[in-house]
Amino acid sequence: MARRQRGVIRTWKAAQGYGFLAPEHGGEEVFVHI
């Protein structure tokens, strides 16, 4: 199971259902798909 992360949505493609988050503790953006 993937670990959870908190962050801020940087980009979101609603029609495709995905985007990228900037983690609150820094580091590379995280891909998110729903």
DSSP state of 28: S
- In this prediction, residue 1 carries a pLDDT of 65
- What is the mean predicted confidence (pLDDT) over 6-33? 95
Q: Is pLDDT of 2 > 80?
A: no
What is the residue extent of each domain of the chain? Answer: 1-34
Of residues 1 and 19, the one with the higher pLDDT is: 19
**pLDDT-derived band at 5, boundaries 50, 70, 90:** confident
Q: How many CB atoms lie within 10 A of CB 17?
A: 10
The total number of residues shown for the chain amounts to 34
The predicted-structure confidence for 17-29, as pLDDT tens digits, reads as follows 999 999 999 999 9
Residue type for position 5: Q
- What is the mean predicted confidence (pLDDT) over 7-33? 95
Classify domain 1-34 by CATH number.
Answer: 2.40.50
